[in-house]
Amino acid sequence: MTQLLTPEVRAALGSTYTYVAPEPLSRASIRYFALAVGADPQRWRDEAPPTLICETAQLTGQAVPDENSYLGHTWELPLPVPCAMFRGGNDYRFERPARFDDVITTTWTLTDATERRDRAGGALLLVTAEARYSAGDELLATNAETMIFRPVGPAADDSPDEAADTTPPAAGEEPRGPADDTTPLPPHRLSAGRAIRPLRRCIALPDMVAYGAATWDWHRLHYDEAHARRLGAPAPLVDGQMLGALLAECVLRSAGPAARLVRLSYRNRAPVRAGETVVCSGTIATSDDAGFSVDLSVTVGEQLVVAPAFAQLAWAAG
């Protein structure tokens, strides 16, 4: 039976990598990301949507993609067999908003690794790492990320009947559905126990490509069906971090510009395929004069694809 957590992998724990972005973040990058996740680009001009710096590969400054056409940071772990990496979840903490003129330094540290078995008894390696994003001497955010490494093998579902539906939405059908209201809720509606307005989004293949371009992430898992199947996925999959960006947008549009996101934590439970409609939902967990927290989830139909998830927001000063 394959063992992935080898002494060589254990020895890699504590490894660090630092990247200094070759240019400021820029208003163009901010605007493109806002458009890709359905946010109001007029709101995000000088400051970036909070999750952008945790999602974009722009900050590495790398110019040569890897074998997956990816430009972001990767951990070249000494695994005993070829493995594919899938995102398990993230825990973002935000200290101050990133600005268009910030030149951002990112430091990644490999912090932990645990071996588990999937339902079929196959080996899985759960790896955690932390990134710190700073501009000059100021800490902007941290990102505790969970990655799942799985030996490369046949797709989990090879049935043609289960292939992703990448047909574009019908004429007149927009990714923003009727429940996707962008009007902020009044403060008295943000009390504990109340539901926030859900965000509904059909993520077609062109939306996945737009998000990949906005985050400098051209990983072939998200658009190349043959490559996705070689990695063990049944079809091109939505980037797990895109679901985090949609959760952030869901809570921020409920609160309006009077609040800022200070923490977002979420776990990916199941993949989302091109053409599926996700619904981000939440219920106010706590609320006081300092801010409020929200318990969140993402569903596709009746299936939970992200849970548990949690957001903490603070009321802006003044």
3-state helix, strand, coil in the chain (%, to 5): 20, 35, 40
pLDDT of residue 182: 67
Q: Is residue 1 domain-resident? A: no
From residue 38, how far is each of 43, 94, 266, 282 by CA, in Å? 12, 21, 20, 18
Q: Is residue 43 domain-resident? A: yes
Number of CB atoms found within 10 A of residue 5's CB: 18
Domains: count for the chain = 1
Q: Is residue 2 domain-resident? A: no
Exposure letters 241-274 (e unless 16+ CB within 10 A, then b): bbbbbbbbbbbbbbbbeebbbbbbbbbbbebbbb
Backbone angles phi, psi at 224, to 5 degrees: -105, 105
From residue 1, how far is each of 121, 277, 279 by CA, in Å? 9, 38, 39
Q: Is residue 311 domain-resident? A: yes
pLDDT tens digits in sequence order for the chain, 318 residues long: 679 999 999 999 999 999 999 999 999 999 999 999 999 999 999 999 999 999 999 999 999 999 899 999 999 999 999 999 999 999 999 999 999 999 999 999 999 999 999 888 899 999 999 999 999 999 999 999 999 999 987 544 433 233 333 333 333 334 444 446 667 665 656 788 999 999 999 999 999 999 999 999 999 999 999 999 988 888 999 999 999 999 999 999 988 888 999 999 999 999 999 999 999 999 999 999 999 999 999 999 999 999 999 999 999 875
Q: Which domain holds residue 307?
A: 7-315
β-strand 291-300 against 303-315: which pairing, if any? antiparallel
From residue 80, how far is each of 43, 77, 131, 277 by CA, in Å? 48, 9, 26, 37
Backbone angles phi, psi at 185, to 5 degrees: -80, 145
Amino acid at 209: V
Closest by CA position to 190, among listed 276, 253, 264, 124: 253
pLDDT of residue 11: 97
pLDDT of residue 170: 38
172: DSSP letter: T
Q: Transcribe 99-128 into DSSP letters.
A: BTT--EEEEEEEEEEEEEE-TTS-EEEEEE
Assign residue 242 the CATH number of its domain.
3.10.129.10
Whose tokens are 């163009």? That residue is 28
Number of CB atoms found within 10 A of residue 23's CB: 11
Q: Is residue 33 domain-resident? A: yes
The DSSP H or E segment spanning 12 is: helix 7-12
**Cα end-to-end span (Å), the chain:** 60
pLDDT of residue 213: 95
Those residues with Cβ within 8 angstroms of residue 141's Cβ, 6 or more apart along the chain or in another chain: 50, 53, 54, 92, 93, 94, 95, 98, 132, 133
Whose tokens are 């005993």? That residue is 80
Q: Is residue 20 domain-resident? A: yes
Q: Is residue 236 domain-resident? A: yes
Are 294 and 282 in contact by the 8 Å Cβ rule? The answer is yes
The DSSP H or E segment spanning 23 is: none
Q: Is residue 88 domain-resident? A: yes
- Whole-angstrom distance, CA of residue 224 vs CA of residue 229: 9
